[in-house]
Amino acid sequence: MFRHFASAVALGVAMAVVASPLCAQDQKGTLVFAVESLGAQTLDPILEGRPGNAVYQAVMYDSLVGFDLAKGGVGPGVAERWELSADGLTWSFFIRPNQVFHNGDKLTAHDVKFSLERQMGPGSLASAAASMRRTIKSIEVVDDLTVKVNTNNPQLGLPAGLSRAVAPEGAIMPKNYIEKVGEEEFRKKPIGSGPWKFVRNVPGDRIEFTAVTTPHWRGRPHFKDLHLLLVPEESTRVAMVRTGEAAIASIGPETMLSATRGGLEVLSVPGTMQAIFQFWGTWKPELKDSPIAKPRVRQALSLAIDRKQVIEHVMNGRARLPHPFATFAYTEYFSAARWEKWAAEAYRYDPALAKKMLAEEGYPNGFELRFANTALPGTQFMVDIGTAIADMWTKVGVKVTLKHYEWGSFAPMERGDQAGLIGWASMYRTAGRPDAPWRYDGAFSPESTQRLLGDKDNCGETCQEYVKTYRALIAELDRTKRTALTDRMVEITSNSWTVVPILEGMGYYAINTRRVGQFEAIPGRHELGDVFERIPRPEQKPWKK
Amino acid sequence: MKRYIARRLLQGVVLLFMVATIVFFLGRLTGNPVDLMLPEDATAEDRANLTQTLGLDGPLGEQFLIFAGKALHGDLGNSIRMKQPAVDAFFDRLPNTLVLIPWALLLGMVLGIPLGVVAALNRGGLLDRAAGTIAVLGVAMPSFWLGILLIFVFSVELGWLPSSRMGGPAHYVLPVITLGTFLVAGFMRITRSAMLEVMESEFVKLARIKGLSETAVIWKHCLRNALIPVLTLWGVFVSNLITGAIVTETVFAWPGIGRLTYEAVIYRDFPLLQAVIILKSILILVINLGVDILYAYVDPRIRLA
């Protein structure tokens, strides 16, 4: 018995000794990725927003809740599972055992508590810091592998909010290390628990990482090094991929054709965003006689849009018909198949019916519509979509006054009395995320910034119905009832035609197939920060011709 | 001369104050960084929280007084995006831009000045028209277009040069050509007109009467005098390179102050934008002052005026 035990121990030790160098030998070359923005280019998660976190911080930090890699949306992360207490006020997260930071320290529940508190603390620029402070009552460490988050009221979306599928606030940082070296030193020499270790950060130029040599639950990288290069100009990024200076580059739909003609592979990531148009202040008393105050007029404008043409010509065929507003195939507690069928019918192109409906509503010769065309940074194709749909509305008799806004000047107009937008339609977008209620609250709640259905003083029938459904939804613990309530919320808002999806967009990458092997991105997640470790070298998995 | 320098310095201080004021208020008219840092579905609560954290919640006048007070002590604030002193960010990137400028100037002078001389000597002829065409092209070609064209030809198609980014000597070729092409045209035009003016001068006629060779008259006597206005323009060109490097540095992913300016604008990073514009202005003022002093020494008429 003792001999067997001794042999097993000896074998284990030998394997451990041999495994590391072998693993290291198996990791070769440098994976070079050219990207248009490195955000704040800081390796401290509390100082970065969502896109930057998902591009480069995700490389070296793990998130409390992770991804469903195949379907998109939420899946296991640092926590392998989580459960809600019967009263809906406490989430317990069960930490995956044997996780370590890059300095060898064990990752425990203490690090999770420390990280969440740091995200909520003073000095944090986390976008949800204030919301977290309001909703999270306390965080308790039960044991090394269990942490409880107590909330002030039921927060069913909390795990999604701590998943990189949605937000960066779940990034786990090393408590002992930060307390020992201080914040300043941590920012210079950051340590995480992800599959890549930090090497160098050259502001305005690049960030370099090297692969961990031990197995990692996200996957052990196939490349030895990873360089993320900041290359703002898209043509230059594509040129770099063509010359082999970079293996992968982020591109927009407008560059897809030239990349393909240049012999590059184009990878599409499904469900990363929706391009939408929406109407501002339709519920306001002063707009009661405006054509856009009538839901059937708004619906007619949707019927006048040939979405397939937009997909074909603006998005080069790499987009799809959308689900209803802010919902995707991976949306949680949502009857995706049913709504996909509904959307195919509702978002069809029928200009004859559009004209008929406009005539029935008293506008046989159309009307004047002011339309604000805008795009978030990095989504310039949105302006082309806006221009295309304005042209389509013109064809059914609507006289469109089109005004272009840079996003930085458009965003402030949403706030306050929205004077510059009341009575206008505008382009907008919504990012791909699995928790629909959060996005709906931002668009439709009478207390929200956008308040598209009404405000506290003017909350009509649809607005009240929405508020009632939303409140029931966020308090509902039963899965089936929650799905029914989400469907109802989607139904109310879809039938109001206040926010109308145009298409479901994708993320696009130009790839040099001589530099990297075939890989897939995570549905709904444009950025590749959680994908790099799974990208094979070209000889490991060549691209299919 | 001392009074001249003192007057120019005083003018510079007034100009800097005006620049700082305009940049401060103009920047804030175009939105704020909070909108670009938060996702589009951020709550009003989160927006208010971040606005306060970034110190952007006070009245604009109060913010300006704080900024002006700190600026007088050399503190131009911390970059909102980069979380480091804006002045440090500027000086970290400045050397990357400065290494391009001498090469671009050299290219401009080496090609532009001889072309200008040749054009002047062949006034109205074929060579003059050819040089004129080069000048028009040099000024008219947008640098982003030229840069992308050069990348496509020399990196993608021919594979001779790296497409972008800082690196060894080969990495300098395309950005320097892109920056320098404008200067070739500039130097060519100013040299041509200065040469034509000088060639009509009495001392040139005298040199010819004295029997000096045409080569000596043109390249020794005419060109030396024609270079005085070129010297003045040198200061303007360096200023243009400092401010105009934005496009070239963006196209070639060159991490200099041009790109830093672009990033500051895109992210509405007010402290960084203010610092970059103020420090660039100081740089340009110093260069122009240096050139003017030099010019005053070279040409006594300037001193006397």
Nearest chain A residue to B254 by CA: give it.
A205
B292 to chain A, minimum CA–CA distance in Å? 34
Unique residue bearing structure tokens 């065309």: A373
- Quote the minimal CA–CA distance from A204 to chain B in Å: 5
- Is the pLDDT at B31 greater than 80, yes or no? no
Portion 195-214 of A in contact with B at CB < 8 A: 202-205
8 Å CB contact between B93 and B260: yes
Those residues whose C-beta lies under 8 Å from the C-beta of residue B219, and which sit 6 or more positions away, are: B117
> Is A412 in contact with B40 (Cβ distance < 8 A)?
no
CA atoms of A119 and B256, how far apart (whole Å): 32
Residue whose entry in the numeric block shows the structure tokens 């195919």: A344
φ, ψ dihedrals at A409, nearest 5°:
-95, -20
Considering only CB atoms, which chain B residues are within 8 Å of A449? 43-44, 47
The DSSP string of B221-260 is IIHHHHHHHHHHHHHHHHHHHHHHHHHHHHHTT--SHHHH
* Chain A residues touching B49 at Cβ < 8 A: 129-130
- Sorted by sequence, the CB contacts under 8 Å of residue A106 that are 6+ apart come out as A98, A99, A100, A144
Q: Where is A225: in which H helix or E strand? A: strand A225-230
Cβ atoms within 10 Å, residue A477 = 13
pLDDT at position B68 is 87
Sign of the CA dihedral running B6, B10, B11, B12: positive
Question: What letter does residue A100 receive in the DSSP assignment?
Answer: B
Closest C-alpha to A231, from B251, B237, B235: B251
The Cα of B71 is separated from the nearest Cα of chain A by a number of Å equal to 23
Residue located via tokens 């509305």 = A393
Subunit contact B253:A233, Cβ cutoff 8 A = yes
Residues in A closer than 8 angstroms to B143, CB to CB, are none
The closest CB to that of B35, out of A245, A412, A431, belongs to A412
Q: Torsions phi, psi of A206, nearest 5?
A: -165, 160
Q: Do A243 and B165 count as a contact with CB atoms less than 8 A apart?
A: no
**If pLDDT is split at 50, 70 and 90, which confidence band does A222 have?**
very high
Task: Compute the distance between CA of residue A336 and CA of residue B203 in angstroms, rounded to an integer.
Answer: 89
pLDDT of residue B62: 86
- Token pair, residue A420, equals 């510059």
Q: Which of B31, B42, B47 sits opposite A409 (nearest CB)?
A: B31
Over residues B63-67, the mean pLDDT reads: 86
Cβ–Cβ below 8 Å for A239 and B164: yes
The whole-number pLDDT of residue B41 equals 64
**Identity of the residue numbered B47:** R
Torsion angle, CA of B226/B231/B232/B236, rounded to 10 degrees? 130
Residues 401-420 of A with CB under 8 A from B: 406-409, 411-412, 415
* Min distance B119 CA to chain A CA atoms (Å): 36
Instruction: Compute φ and ψ for B82, nearest 5 degrees.
Output: -95, -10
Six token digits for residue A497: 């035609």
User: How close is the nearest chain B Cα to the Cα of A8, in Å?
Assistant: 52
Residue whose tokens read 């804030």? B28
Rounded CA separation B253/B251 (Å): 6
Instruction: Output the pLDDT for position B208.
Output: 84
pLDDT digits (tens, 9 = 90+) for A444-458: 999 888 999 999 999
> Which residues of chain B make contact with A160, given a CB cutoff of 8 A?
none
Bridging pattern class, strands A196-202 and A206-211: antiparallel
Residue B11 has pLDDT above 80, yes or no: yes
More confident residue, B235 or A495: A495
pLDDT > 70: percent of chain B: 95
Angstrom distance (rounded) from CA B146 to CA B251: 10
* Backbone phi, psi, residue A270, to 5°: -70, 150
- Tokens at A58, concatenated: 């995700």
User: Would an 8 Å CB–CB cutoff place A258 in contact with chain B?
Assistant: no
Is the pLDDT confidence value at A13 over 70?
no
User: How distant is the Cα of A69 from the closest Cα of chain B, in angstroms?
Assistant: 23
**Residue A34, helix vs strand vs coil:** strand
Pairwise pLDDT comparison (B31 vs A181), residue with the higher score:
A181
Mean pLDDT (chain A, rounded): 90
User: Does residue A443 contact residue A490 with C-beta atoms inside 8 Å?
Assistant: no
**A117-145 average pLDDT score:** 88
- The Cα–Cα gap between A469 and A486 comes to 8
Strand partners, A372: A403, A426
Q: Which of B35, B53, B81 sits opposite A408 (nearest CB)?
A: B35
Cβ separation of B43 and A230 shorter than 8 Å? no
Phi and psi of A190, rounded to 5°?
-70, 150
Three-state SS string across A240-279, please?
HHHHCCCCEEEECHHHHHHHHHCCCEEEEEEEEEEEEEEE
Look-up: residue for tokens 């900024």?
B67
Residues of B in contact with A407 (CB under 8 A): 31, 35-36
**Residues of chain A with C-beta less than 8 angstroms from the C-beta of B37:** 49, 125, 127
Q: Does residue A503 register a pLDDT over 80?
A: yes
Decide: A132 and A64 in contact? Cβ < 8 Å: no
Tally helices (H) and strands (E) across chain A. Answer: 19, 16
Query: Which has more confidence, A248 or B210?
Result: A248
Residues 45-64 of A with CB under 8 A from B: 47, 49-50
pLDDT in tens, A44-67: 999 887 778 889 999 999 999 998
Q: Is A11 on the interface with B (CB under 8 A)?
A: no
The nearest CA of chain A is from the CA of B138 a distance in Å of 22
Residue type, A360: E
Chain A residues in contact with B38 by the CB 8 A cut-off are: 49, 127
Rounded CA-CA distance A440/A474 in Å is 12
Cβ atoms of residues A55 and A48 within 8 Å: no
**Do A239 and B266 lie within an 8 Å CB cutoff?**
no
Phi-psi region of A192 (alpha: psi -120 to 50; beta: other; left: phi over 0): beta
Beta carbons of B156 and A50 less than 8 Å apart: no
DSSP string for A495-540: HHTSEEEEEEEEEEEEE-TTTS------TT----TTTGGGPPPTTT
Measure the CA–CA gap between A434 and B35, rounded to whole angstroms: 22
Chain B residue with minimal CA distance to A433?
B41
Outline where DSSP puts E strands in A364-398. 368-375
Sign of the torsion angle spanned by Cα atoms B151, B152, B157, B163:
positive
* pLDDT value of residue B227: 82
- Contact in structure between A289 and A271 (CB atoms under 8 Å): no
A263 touches chain B (CB under 8 A): no
**Alpha carbon distance A397, A410 (integer Å):** 27
| A360 touches B: beta carbon within 8 Å | no
- In contact, A207 and A201? CB cutoff 8 Å: yes
User: Does the beta carbon of A242 lie under 8 angstroms from any beta carbon of chain B?
Assistant: yes
**Average pLDDT for B59-64:** 86
State the best of B165, B171, B261 to mutate against chain A, taking most chain A CBs within 10 Å.
B165
Residue A270 burial (CB < 10 Å; 0-12/13-18/19+)?
A: buried
Mean pLDDT of B80-95: 88
Q: Determine contact, residues B225/B198, Cβ cutoff 8 Å.
A: yes
B2 falls in which pLDDT band (50, 70, 90)? confident
Supply the Cα-derived Rg of chain A in whole angstroms: 25
φ, ψ (nearest 5 deg) of residue A370: -95, 130
CB contact under 8 A, B47 and A449: yes
pTM over 0.80: yes
pLDDT one-digit tens code per residue, A268-326: 998 889 999 999 999 999 998 999 999 999 999 999 999 999 999 999 898 999 999 99
| Average pLDDT for A70-74 | 85
What are the extents of the domains in chain B? 101-253
Q: Is the dihedral of CA B116, B121, B123, B125 positive or negative?
A: negative
For A448, list phi and psi in degrees, rounded to 5.
Answer: -80, 170
A456 touching B (Cβ < 8 Å): no
- Between positions 119 and 148 of A, the ones with CB within 8 A of B are 122-125, 127-131, 134
Stretch A463-489: mean pLDDT: 94
Cβ separation B163–A125 shorter than 8 A: no
Class in CATH terms, B101-253: mainly alpha
Percent of chain B surpassing pLDDT 90: 26
A239 touches chain B (CB under 8 A): yes
Q: How far apart are CA A191 and CA A264, in angstroms?
A: 35
pLDDT category of residue B39 using cuts at 50, 70 and 90: low
Spatial separation of the C-alpha atoms in residues B245 and B253, rounded to whole Å: 11
Q: Specify the amino acid at residue B140.
A: A
**Sequential DSSP letters for chain B:** -HHHHHHHHHHHHHHHHHHHHHHHHHHHHT--HHHHHS-TT--HHHHHHHHHHTT--S-HHHHHHHHHHHHHTT---B-TTT-SBHHHHHHHHHHHHHTTHHHHHHHHHHHHHHHHHHHHHTTTSHHHHHHHHHHHHHHHS-HHHHHHHHIIIIIIIS--S--SSS-STHHHHHHHHHHHHHHHHHHHHHHHHHHHHHHTSHHHHHHHHTT--HHIIIIIIIHHHHHHHHHHHHHHHHHHHHHHHHHHHHHTT--SHHHHHHHHHHTT-HHHHHHHHHHHHHHHHHHHHHHHHHHHHH-HHHHH-
Per-residue model confidence (pLDDT) at position B232: 74
Contact A129 B83 (CB under 8 A): no
Question: Using only C-alpha atoms, what is the Rg of chain B?
Answer: 24
Strand A30-35 to A225-230 pairing: parallel
The verdict on a CB contact (< 8 Å) between B250 and A232 is yes
Residues of A in contact with B263 (CB under 8 A): 204
Residues in B touching A411 (Cβ below 8 Å): 31, 35-36, 40
Per-residue pLDDT of A181-201, as tens digits, reads 999 999 999 999 999 999 999
- Would the pLDDT of B129 be above 70? yes
